[in-house]
Amino acid sequence: MQETKSEADTGHNFISEMTGTEESGYLTFTLGDEEYGIDILTVQEIRGYDSVTSIANMPEFIKGVINLRGIIVPIVDMRIKFNLGDVTYHEMTVVIILNIADRVVGMVVDGVSDVISLSREQIKEAPEFGAVVDTKYIKGLGVVDQRMLILIDIENLMSSKEMALVEQLA
């Protein structure tokens, strides 16, 4: 495991914000060989990949929209976005439905592992390199029983320009 003293802004701020031994829950999922964690409070539900209506002339990783109980929800495939894993769709393909800033978004991942709690001590600052996800969207690294989780700042990532999910001001 690599630990640096870098002032990776988000990671640093994030850690200093956490107080005491308070624990936060994370949903972990895999993309290729890496294991990621996102704040459990942003997760609305997990469902299978089913009947996505594609939208013309969109980036490849935007798979289209689905009907989630009457709500039109866009679906992004993180495997395509980050060039990880084999992009096949079958019965076991998983979509994590996120609820971020009053918007609902679904993201396709390789698989969902479990929900874990991390205390402040278990979270290290993010390294500058080493993950396919840009460091500015990484909150830190979580360590649990020899496993290393890359904790993603999913809120920032999903509203970023590169995800093309939110209308950007020109």
Partner 1 sequence: MSIDMKQFYAVFFEEVSEHLANMESLLLAINIESPSLDDLNAVFRAAHSIKGGAGIFAFDDMTEVTHILETLLDKLRKQETILTSEMIDAFLQAGDLLAELKEAHQEGGEVDPDKVKTLCKSLESLSAERAVSPESAENNSAAETVCREITFLTEEKEDISTLLRELAEFAELSCSCDIQDGYKKWCLTLAEASVSDDELIDCITFFAEPGSIVITGLEVKEEKKQEEDAFGLFAEENTHALIENDSFGIFDELPVNSNNDSDDLPAQPSLLLPKAAESAEQETQSYGFFSDEDKHIEKKPVPAGRLKSAVKSSRNGSESSSSIRVNTEKVDQLINQVGELVITQAMLTQISALLDPSEHEILLNRLTQLERNTRDLQESVMSIRMMPISFVFARFPRVVRDLSSKLHKKINLKMIGDETELDKGLVEKLADPLTHLIRNSIDHGIEMPEIRLAQGKEEIGTITLFAFYQGGNVVINVSDDGAGLNREKITAKAAERGLNISDSMTDNEVYQLIFSAGFSTAEKVTDVSGRGVGMDVVKRNIVEMGGQVEIHSDLGLGSTISIRLPLTLAILDGMSISVGDHIYIIPLTFICESLQPQTENIKTINGKGTVVKVRGEYIPLLALHQLFNIETQVHQPSDGILVLLESSNKKIALLVDQLVGQQQVVLKSLETNFHAVPCISGATIMGDGRVALILDAAGLISSME
Binding site for partner 1 (CB under 8 A): 51, 53-58, 64-67, 69-74, 103-105, 165-167
In the complex, the smallest distance separating the C-beta of residue 64 from partner 1, rounded to whole angstroms, is 8
List strands edge to edge, sheet with 71-77. Answer: 43-48, 94-100, 103-109, 71-77, 62-68
Among residues 87 and 166, whose Cβ is nearest to partner 1? 166
Among residues 116 and 158, whose Cβ is nearest to partner 1? 158
User: How many C-beta atoms lie closer than 10 Å to residue 50's C-beta?
Assistant: 11
In the complex, the smallest distance separating the C-beta of residue 98 from partner 1, rounded to whole angstroms, is 10
Around 12, how many Cα atoms within 13 Å sit in the side-chain half-sphere?
A: 7
In the complex, the smallest distance separating the C-beta of residue 69 from partner 1, rounded to whole angstroms, is 6
**Kind of pairing, strands 103-109 and 111-118?**
unpaired
Among residues 54 and 119, whose Cβ is nearest to partner 1? 54
